[in-house]
Amino acid sequence: MQHFPIFLDTRGKRIVLSGGGEAALAKLRLLTKSEARLEVFAADPHDDLRRLAAEGRIALTERALAEGDLRGAVLFYAADEDADEDARTAAIAEAEGALVNIVDNLADSRFITPAIVDRDPVTVAIGTEGAAPVLARAIKRELEERLPPVLGLLARVGKAFRPMAEKLPFGRARREFWADYYFENGPRAVEAQGADGAQAALDGLLEKHLSRAARPGHVDFVGAGPGDAELLTLKARAALDKADVVIHDRLISGEILELARREALMVEAGKTGFGPSTRQDDINALIVEHARGGAHVVRLKSGDPTVFGRLDEEIEAVEAAGVDWRIVPGITAASAAIAGLGQSQTRRGRNSQVRFLTGHDTKGFADHDWRALARPGEVAAIYMGKRAARFLQGRLLMHGADPATPVSFVENASRPDQRIVAARLADMARVLDDAALTGPVLTFYGIAPRKAAAMAGDYEQEMAL
Ligand code: SAH
């Protein structure tokens, strides 16, 4: 950072400018926003300069700048658009102790004037060390769109309100109050009622946020189902509709997230089997922090929250914080997958129990009662089983399972891109590799897709034994 940004107090200070043309006027357009005493030296000034002088906004001296003119000045702009004249005036300014800016001459300038987004008293200064004026302009434009023009007015009214806002507990409650004021309610109120609206908005918002902060928070652990939004329960929808904050897994589809209350804060607490993920402790802390601030938190988990979702750890954290909670069950991936296969999880004479297994746990591939599973007719829904396919296959064969036992993979169960891949125990790992499935996969051990599902044509069949 060659140029270090600072905000200079210009009240009553002398800022001097040499030049009477367009460059001088352009600089003055910015400088007249300051509270400095502006003095311009120009032998032949533009009419607009004379007008500014007549309005009392600048002091105009109609001659070239000379030695002694800059004593006591803090900043000097050389804006004669003439390299020799600029060098001459800059030398005087240097000698008399003013910081110098030469228009369009970065190398010889002691300071530069940044691009500015003016929402006085909020000022955003953008600098690129002269490297990319185009970029500075683009950023300025973007910020101008993002920061409502009334922000300055809101900030002035808001400043006086700071002591009142201290009634709110420090931290999130107060942050949310101000965010609401500056970006939601404040701009709306000013648009409707002008400056008076800002004050009214503050009073109303304080009440709203005080009552929210006083209210104890609540956490709903909600099952989002396997992906199809129509498989959400009505209770899940109602919870999403009331949520202040939704903390969701990465697996949750956009279609479902759309159903959350428009004002809700959406936070992704990503968890994937292997890739980058948010630490469980951080997720717990996040839930607790929001709930403690009085928010209605929806912790949205894929499928059913009670199935391989580390739900107990989250409940324990919430309970330890003394926050009220409940579970809203969802349709687990196994239910959606078996529906896709057109089969039933249990069947008289075949299996009277179904196991829900995980392919891996925190220590690696998970061990199970392989001997029991290897018996004919056993059925298991295997979650997170993609990477463990070869391991599972090996263990089951080793414990005497029939190599012809059907195994079905259902990728993206219930979603428009659902895919079904059928295999046998003997070739399940190879078939899975060949299918190169990239979405979440539920593996059904002991179940083949029913013919009717096969006729639907939305799956690949590989039965080569
Ligand atoms: N609580 C979730 C499971 C979380 S573990 C539930 O009840 O469904 C994540 C695993 O669930 C994935 O690795 C995958 O095996 C399975 N899964 C989740 N959604 C799925 C979907 N739409 N299709 C297939 N498998 C899915």
Ligand 1 atom at minimum distance from 309 CA:
1
Q: Is 340 in the pocket of ligand 1 (CB under 6 A)?
A: no
User: Other CB atoms closer than 10 Å to residue 368's CB: what's the count?
Assistant: 17
Q: Cα of 118 to ligand 1 centre, how many Å?
A: 50
Ligand 1 atom at minimum distance from 330 CA:
7
How confident is the model at residue 459, as a pLDDT?
46
pLDDT tens sequence across 375-398: 999 999 999 999 999 999 999 999
Q: Cα of 360 to ligand 1 centre, how many Å?
A: 13
User: Other CB atoms closer than 10 Å to residue 360's CB: what's the count?
Assistant: 17
89 touches 40 (CB < 8 A): no
Q: Is 253 in the pocket of ligand 1 (CB under 6 A)?
A: no
Contacts of 60 (CB under 8 A, 6+ apart): 39, 40, 42, 45, 49, 50, 52, 53
Ligand 1 atom at minimum distance from 301 CA:
1
Q: Is 388 in the pocket of ligand 1 (CB under 6 A)?
A: no
> How buried is residue 35: exposed, middle or buried, by Cβ count under 10 Å (0-12/13-18/19+)?
exposed
Q: Cα of 280 to ligand 1 centre, how many Å?
A: 18
User: Other CB atoms closer than 10 Å to residue 306's CB: what's the count?
Assistant: 15
pTM: 0.61
278 touches 270 (CB < 8 A): yes
In this structure, which amino acid lies at residue 370?
Answer: W
Ligand 1 atom at minimum distance from 305 CA:
1
Contacts of 218 (CB under 8 A, 6+ apart): 291, 296, 297, 323, 324, 325
How confident is the model at residue 431, as a pLDDT?
97
Q: Cα of 351 to ligand 1 centre, how many Å?
A: 23
Q: Could you give the CA distance from residue 181 to residue 192 in angstroms, rounded to a whole number?
A: 14
Domains and their CATH numbers in the chain: 14-113 (3.40.50.720), 150-212 (no CATH), 218-331 (3.40.1010.10), 334-454 (3.30.950.10)
Q: Cα of 441 to ligand 1 centre, how many Å?
A: 7
397 touches 404 (CB < 8 A): no
Residue 418 is encoded by which pair of tokens?
Answer: 């659902």
Q: How far apart are the first and last CA of the chain?
A: 67
Question: Which mutation among 383, 392, 437, 447 tests ligand 1's pocket best, with the greatest number of atoms within 8 A of CB?
Answer: 383
Q: Is 198 in the pocket of ligand 1 (CB under 6 A)?
A: no
Q: Cα of 337 to ligand 1 centre, how many Å?
A: 9
How confident is the model at residue 325, as a pLDDT?
96
User: Other CB atoms closer than 10 Å to residue 249's CB: what's the count?
Assistant: 21
196 touches 241 (CB < 8 A): no
Ligand 1 atom at minimum distance from 249 CA:
4
Q: Is 226 in the pocket of ligand 1 (CB under 6 A)?
A: yes
Question: Which mutation among 271, 328, 365, 384 tests ligand 1's pocket best, with the greatest number of atoms within 8 A of CB?
Answer: 384
Parallel, antiparallel, or unpaired for β 115-119 and 122-126? Answer: antiparallel
Q: Cα of 307 to ligand 1 centre, how many Å?
A: 9
Nearest residue (by CA) to ligand 1, atom 18, is 333
* 174: alpha, beta or left? (left if phi > 0; alpha if psi -120 to 50): alpha
- Listing DSSP states for 268-283 in one string gives E----SSSS---HHHH
Q: Is 309 in the pocket of ligand 1 (CB under 6 A)?
A: yes
How confident is the model at residue 271, as a pLDDT?
58
> How buried is residue 364: exposed, middle or buried, by Cβ count under 10 Å (0-12/13-18/19+)?
exposed
Parallel, antiparallel, or unpaired for β 99-102 and 73-78? Answer: parallel
Contacts of 267 (CB under 8 A, 6+ apart): 245, 246, 247, 248, 286
* 139: alpha, beta or left? (left if phi > 0; alpha if psi -120 to 50): alpha
Average pLDDT by stretches of 10, the chain with 465 residues: 92 96 94 95 95 95 96 96 96 96 94 90 89 89 89 90 86 83 89 87 90 83 96 96 92 90 88 64 92 90 95 95 95 97 95 94 88 96 96 96 97 96 97 96 96 48 40
The position carrying tokens 């089983």 is 385
How confident is the model at residue 272, as a pLDDT?
53
Q: Is 307 in the pocket of ligand 1 (CB under 6 A)?
A: yes
Q: Is 420 in the pocket of ligand 1 (CB under 6 A)?
A: no
Q: Is 381 in the pocket of ligand 1 (CB under 6 A)?
A: no
User: Other CB atoms closer than 10 Å to residue 430's CB: what's the count?
Assistant: 15
Q: Is 308 in the pocket of ligand 1 (CB under 6 A)?
A: yes
Q: Is 339 in the pocket of ligand 1 (CB under 6 A)?
A: no
What's the Cα-to-Cα distance from 10 to each of 38, 74, 153, 447, rounded to whole Å? 10, 9, 21, 79
Q: Cα of 438 to ligand 1 centre, how many Å?
A: 13
221 touches 311 (CB < 8 A): yes
In this structure, which amino acid lies at residue 160?
Answer: A
Q: Is 302 in the pocket of ligand 1 (CB under 6 A)?
A: yes
The position carrying tokens 């007719």 is 377
Q: Cα of 235 to ligand 1 centre, how many Å?
A: 20
Active-site residue list: 249, 271
Cα angle 314-318-324, degrees, rounded to a multiple of 5: 125
Q: Could you give the CA distance from residue 382 to residue 307 in angstroms, rounded to a whole number?
A: 11
Cα angle 36-38-42, degrees, rounded to a multiple of 5: 165
